[in-house]
Amino acid sequence: MNSLSYRRALKLATSIFIATTVAACSGSDKPSESEARTALQAYLGNCQYIDISDFRKVNGIPQQDGSYIVETNFTATLNPPDKIKDFVASSHNPDLDANASLLVRQQYAPIALSINIQKIINTYRQDCPNMPRRLIEKIYNSNIDPSNRTLDDYAKTYSVQVTQSEVHLIKTDTGWQLAQ
């Protein structure tokens, strides 16, 4: 390698090192998109039934106490576990469906549906106690027509776009963390 190309390589390496160092130092006063996503997943209880995709940090607001509010957009997908699918499958009552009068079905069905929906939501809450109930409800309410819903609807995978969701972070010795 001649001395001219060696100097160029050294200049390039030095420039890359300086740019990387400056970028790393300048971003420390606000959370990165990756840190915001990690905090959001912690806020959702790191629940194995929720997938986060299309995550974007759209704004950040530093607070006077040193914390930081990050506004995010993302898609949340709720994947029901097998135990919910099994519960839904076992909740069908063929005797009632086939033999009951229309009046009995009209009176029984809404009550049974409401009770069973609460059981399903409670199952998610048992497995993922930190996951906000309102997110589960938002996913279902955004995808299921309440006037036409059946219990089978609650055993399906659904997604919802979440916009301008706020994640509150605080800086710690190990980086940005979810504020408690």
pLDDT in tens, 94-142: 665 555 556 655 666 677 788 888 889 889 989 998 888 888 989 999 9
The answer to whether the CB of 151 falls within 8 A of the CB of 91 is yes
| Annotated domain spans of the chain | 1-29, 31-178
Average pLDDT score, the chain: 80
User: pTM of this prediction?
Assistant: 0.72
Residue 29 has pLDDT above 70, yes or no: yes
Q: 68 forms bridges with which residues in the sheet?
A: 62, 169
Please provide residue 91's backbone torsions phi and psi, each rounded to the nearest 5 degrees.
Answer: -85, -10
Cα torsion angle, 136, 139, 142, 144, sign: negative
